[in-house]
Amino acid sequence: MPPKAHAADPSPRRPFSSGGHPYQAVVGIPLSGVDVRLGVRIQDKAVAAIEFLISPLQPHSPTNAVAADVVRQLKAYFEDPQQRFSLPILPQGTAFQRRVWTALRAIPVGETVTYGELAREVGGGARAVGGACRRNPCPIVVPCHRVVSVKGLGGFMGETAGAELVLKARLLTHEAGASQKHALP
């Protein structure tokens, strides 16, 4: 079942988009069982958003140097999730959301933390952490998929079931496999 499409929204925080926004690049996600693309939006020479797309937009080449770097680093991540992102990001959110997004970038590849653990780290509640994850404008680069519930995957992109959770599970599986490959004997 494909992820549900959301109406066009001027906010860069709505992860699934049905189009209507110009993207400086569109990249396919090479994960088994996932038919989604990533729309890259650049503003002021920084990444403003990376959006999951289910629209018929086909992958297209970057239109500027920053978008080209985003595409290169995303492709490197899908080849090897140990890839470290070093992209200029334009985090538009509240002070609390920015604290959560900064903490997300510190979660190692192949590891997860619970919403409650992250809440204790950043000084807030688990639901507020979930809300900040849902509004994350740059998923994958800011790895909100690494935050889980104490009882399972939790949510992803505002959903607690369906294709969104399949995508979260695929991302975690992708990273777990790479972590085991890079582990010392």
Enzyme catalytic residues:
144
Distance between CA 12 and CA 48 in Å, rounded?
A: 7
Tokens 């860069």 belong to: 12
Partners of residue 26 on adjacent β-strands: 39, 60
Burial of 159 (0-12, 13-18, 19+ CB in 10 A): middle
Residue in this structure with the two tokens 């994350």, named with its chain if needed: 136
Tokens at residue 69, please?
């770097």
Q: What phi, psi does 138 have (nearest 5°)?
A: -130, 60
* Radius of gyration of the chain measured on its C-alpha atoms: 15
